[in-house]
Structure 1
Amino acid sequence: MSTPIESPAAQIPVNGAQTALAAAPTNKKQPYPFWLGGTPLDLTKVRMQATGDKGMINSIKKTVRTAGVLGLFDGITGTWFRQMTYSICRFWAYDESKKLIGADAKSPAWKLALAGSMAGGIAGFVGNPGELIMVRLQSDFAKPPEKRLNYKNCLDGLYRMVKEEGWSSLARGVGPNVFRAILMNASQLASYDFFKAELLKTGHFEDNIYVHTTASFAAGTVATTVCSPADVLKSRIMAASGAEGRSTLGMIRLSMKNEGPMFMFKGWLPAWTRLQPTTMLIFITLEQLKNAVDWYRGDI
């Protein structure tokens, strides 16, 4: 009697399923749902960047002193709106960009960075109104009372911006925002794939949560440093309104004159403190969601 031959899928461990399935020409993996990609530290970062508050702890103390503990959550609706537009869009665009240029997680770093840049450009443009409203809501209470916009929430802010400043106001700061989004996605998404692939190449690691945690930690540090200059400019331009608005070059000249070149890294610590756990949670959760989708489809 002949011995039954096991299927290729049964002969490989779970962690190797994705590699084997990808190599099989008759069993091409389906794309993941786009919506898989969809704090007080963010508030502190924006206020330090937009108003010149010195030091993360001092900025937090100032907010609590002037607005109470609940003041740390000013602009939370803007954060939600931004997440529902920019964040969801960028993961979908990254996957589509990789397919367009023929890249995957094992591709060279420059190819991953190119796909990340393409995704950042798309997501930065789509998410600009959400980013704009978030920055204005978070920086408003730090301004003198006579200069505050006093938006009730993100929807009220959108309505008033269009009514008082015209539809073109929704594009305020789109240049530095798109540039920052390109830097963010080229550094964060691409560096995560790069670090993960390099760890797996050593042969000492398996594709599991430990690799995901290490790669996402490294990606968060790289992304914070690369994006800091554009992030500062974006926050300062978006926090201004009406006649206060300045061009990107004008804002650079003014900031360089008043603060020197290190203004580009204003708020780096709260930005890193916010982005680091966020980056880790995003990628660890995304990997688990992908595993769940694979399980549901019967791929593992």
Structure 2
Amino acid sequence: MVGTFAHVLKHNGFLGLYSGLSASLLRQITYSTTRFGVYEELKSRLSKSKDGPSFPVLIAMASASGFLGGIAGNPADVLNVRMQHDAALPVQDRRNYKNAIDGLIRMTREEGWKSLFRGVWPNSMRAVLMTASQLASYDGFKRVLIQNTPLEDNLTTHFSASFLAGFVATTVCSPVDVIKTRIMSSHESKSLAKLLIDVYKVEGVGWMFRGWVPSFIRLGPHTIATFLFLEQHKKIYRKLKGIDEVDRAL
């Protein structure tokens, strides 16, 4: 990780650390809004009891939401991986997309529209794992903390539950993240089975958690900020709409 930072700073300067920012924003607009929106809608429709949906039901809803979000956000995800990976490549191998829109246009023109959905299946599976391990685990941890500790539905509980959810999500998604990144940044087409065999031969079982620390450094604060903002957003929305919070655990 340190070597990568040093390489990027040396050859691209400080701004090189923000390569792919526009693609990352586009990914959040498409991927995150889809999965969060579908999940909250399903949860509100199925919250018929005082205790809300059971944990297995939460996992099922989160998985469905993640799958749809993965498909919706795949084009931006491909761009995000490519633009961030560009800075570590030799100059002659870089794609040099100006921004997310330029990248979408060039990918469609140079590689066909199917390139926008390169790696869509592993990416969608990653989205399923991410959403289930992040959203469902957050609601699960939040419910356990409220029901089994002196904590109430407040900022401390939201922070604790989101921190634990970030840890779970990073661990569960690490193997799929490695596969997704290598498929999307590859210059050659290679089947998933062939890729897994080649990676295992070179790196052994350890490939599954390669980059776990930088992933947690990214995903941990992101998960915490996301849920803290989401909880405050829901609180303000309910107050404006005059909606009573029947179930404080959800």
TM-score interval (norm. to shorter): over 0.9
Could you say which residue in structure 2 is the equivalent of 1:297? 241
1:68 aligns with 2:13: yes
* Cα distance in 2 for residues equivalent to 1:133 and 1:94: 25
Write the letter of the residue equivalent to 1:271: S
The gaps in structure 1 that reach 5 residues or longer are: 1-55
Could you say which residue in structure 2 is the equivalent of 1:288? 232
1:245 aligns with 2:162: no
Offset at residue 145 of structure 1 (A)? 2.3
Write the letter of the residue equivalent to 1:113: I
SS of aligned partner of 1:131: helix
Q: Is the 8 A contact 2:4 2:88 kept in 1?
A: no
From 25, 35, 41, the counterpart of 1:96:
41
Write the letter of the residue equivalent to 1:79: S
Write the letter of the residue equivalent to 1:210: T
Q: Is the 8 A contact 2:43 2:53 kept in 1?
A: no
Could you say which residue in structure 1 is the equivalent of 2:203? 259
TM-score normalised by L of structure 2: 0.92
Which string of whole-angstrom CA distances, capped at 9 and with x for unpartnered residues, describes residues 206-254 of structure 1?
Answer: 110110000000000000000001111111100123xx12221121111
Aligned-pair identity in percent equals 44
* Cα distance in 1 for residues equivalent to 2:85 and 2:217: 19
Which string of whole-angstrom CA distances, capped at 9 and with x for unpartnered residues, describes residues 23-67 of structure 1?
Answer: xxxxxxxxxxxxxxxxxxxxxxxxxxxxxxxxx222212211121
1:206 aligns with 2:152: yes
Q: CA RMSD in A?
A: 1.6
Write the letter of the residue equivalent to 2:236: A
* Cα distance in 1 for residues equivalent to 2:90 and 2:195: 20
SS of aligned partner of 1:260: helix
Q: Counterparts in 2 of 1:168-247, with a 5 A limit?
A: 168-202=114-148, 204-241=150-187, 244-247=188-191
The gaps in structure 2 that reach 5 residues or longer are: 245-250
1:259/1:65 Cα in 2 relative to 1: closer, same or farther (>3 Å)?
same
Which string of whole-angstrom CA distances, capped at 9 and with x for unpartnered residues, describes residues 63-86 of structure 1?
Answer: 111211111011111111111110
TM-score normalised by L of structure 1: 0.77
When structure 1 is superposed on structure 2, of 222-231 and 96-105 the one drifting more is 96-105
Q: Is the 8 A contact 2:22 2:99 kept in 1?
A: yes
Q: Counterparts in 2 of 1:14-53, with a 5 A limit?
A: none
1:128 aligns with 2:80: no
Write the letter of the residue equivalent to 2:122: P
**Higher alpha-carbon Rg:** 1
* Cα distance in 1 for residues equivalent to 2:243 and 2:54: 26
Which string of whole-angstrom CA distances, capped at 9 and with x for unpartnered residues, describes residues 169-191 of structure 1?
Answer: 11100011000000000100000
